[in-house]
Amino acid sequence: MNKRKIVIGNWKMNPVTKKEAQKLYNSLLKGDTNTKKTEVVACPPFVYFSYFKSSKRINLGAQDVFWNESGAFTGEVSPTMLEDLGVKYIILGHSERRALGESNADVNKKLKASLVAGLVPILCVGESERNENHEYLNLVKNQIEECLTGVAKSSLAKIVIAYEPVWAIGKNAVRSATAEEHREMSIFIKKVLSDKFGALNIKDTRIIYGGSAHPENIDEFITIGGADGFLVGRDSLDPKKFLEIIKLCEISKN
Ligand code: PGA
């Protein structure tokens, strides 16, 4: 059976006012796109959570979290605090956070604390560049192994892995990955996961694509690339495009 697709909107540090954030969230709520076969997640900045509620149609996700439950950690927010506000998903290890110094060991601590609080981790992995030696495969393997150290086999069905090649992200992206490149990486990630956790424990783990995902390339990522969903940056701020991405996942036969 096909896994339920998942489409996650990473709003990053946008929009700048509460009013605009509410407008964006409302257009997603009101859109006439079906979400029967697709889980939809919106990840606004922390400050907007109290204005939104997770619903059957849209789930709330956060873009980062700290690993401790409470205490003297100025500026940090804990998984339990997020869960208490109705947050269900958590993006971890995004390349923009790694660029600020986040290590695989940090991501690992955040991921384990998030699981304890009942959040669904969306673990981002991906290389900054590719060369002929295929070094990028080792880098992704290392990210997965270190970020998932000490995680119970039984948690794997819940975790979403987002393959996001850094060179494909954002407005300065060279290009998106190709569907074939995603397919190759998705197979590789499954191999790394099954070596670590056993094939049976990873059969429900979703491997999704992120990095210049747009309505124009969604279908090929699903049909050729075998993507179980998408982590969407820029197009998540445009309700028309984001709803179109959801619709393409809904109507896909794969
Ligand atoms: P993009 O961002 O869709 O704007 O390339 C993706 C991401 O950073 O998750």
> pLDDT digit string (tens) for 52-91?
998 999 999 999 999 999 999 999 999 999 999 999 999 9
In the DSSP assignment, the letter for residue 179 is H
pLDDT band at 223 (very low <50, low <70, confident <90, very high): very high
Q: Where in 26-138 does DSSP place strands (E)?
A: 38-43, 59-62, 87-92, 120-125
> Which residue type occupies 111?
L
In Å, how far are 29, 31, 85, 209 from 26, measured between CA atoms? 5, 8, 18, 25
Determine which helix (DSSP H) or strand (DSSP E) holds 206, and give its type and residue range. strand 206-210
Q: Is a pLDDT exceeding 60 seen at residue 44?
A: yes
| Nearest atom (ligand 1) to Cα of 176 | 5
CA distance 195 to 55: 36
Residue 231 CA to ligand 1 centre (angstroms): 7
In Å, how far are 125, 146, 224, 250 from 57, measured between CA atoms? 27, 33, 27, 13
Determine which helix (DSSP H) or strand (DSSP E) holds 181, and give its type and residue range. helix 179-197
Q: What is the pLDDT of residue 187?
A: 98
The CA-CA-CA angle for residues 156, 52, 4, to 5°, reads 35
Between 39-43, 53-57, 143-147, the lowest mean confidence (pLDDT) is in: 53-57
Q: What is the pLDDT of residue 32?
A: 87
CA distance 89 to 139: 25
Q: Is a pLDDT exceeding 90 seen at residue 253?
A: no
Residue 166 CA to ligand 1 centre (angstroms): 9
CA distance 230 to 119: 18
Residue 161 CA to ligand 1 centre (angstroms): 15
- From 6, 8, 10, the mutation candidate for ligand 1 (largest count of ligand atoms within 8 A of CB) is 10
Tell how strand 87-92 and strand 5-10 pair up.
unpaired
pLDDT band at 3 (very low <50, low <70, confident <90, very high): confident
182 part of the active site: no
Q: Whose CA is nearest to atom 1 of ligand 1?
A: 233
Residue 72 CA to ligand 1 centre (angstroms): 33
Q: Is a pLDDT exceeding 80 seen at residue 21?
A: yes
DSSP string, 139-153: HHHHHHHHHTTT--G
**Which among 83, 94, 96, 244 is annotated as catalytic?**
94
pTM score over 0.95: yes
Residue 109 CA to ligand 1 centre (angstroms): 24
Q: What is the pLDDT of residue 230?
A: 98
Q: What is the pLDDT of residue 174?
A: 85
Q: What is the pLDDT of residue 2?
A: 63
The predicted model gives 181-203 an average pLDDT of: 97
The predicted model gives 160-172 an average pLDDT of: 97
94 part of the active site: yes
Instruction: Enter the tokens of residue 233.
Output: 């940056």
Residues with CB under 6 A from ligand 1: 10, 164, 169-170, 173, 210-213, 231-234
Q: Whose CA is nearest to atom 2 of ligand 1?
A: 233
Q: By percentage, how much of the chain surpasses pLDDT 70?
A: 99
Determine which helix (DSSP H) or strand (DSSP E) holds 9, and give its type and residue range. strand 5-10
| Nearest atom (ligand 1) to Cα of 162 | 9
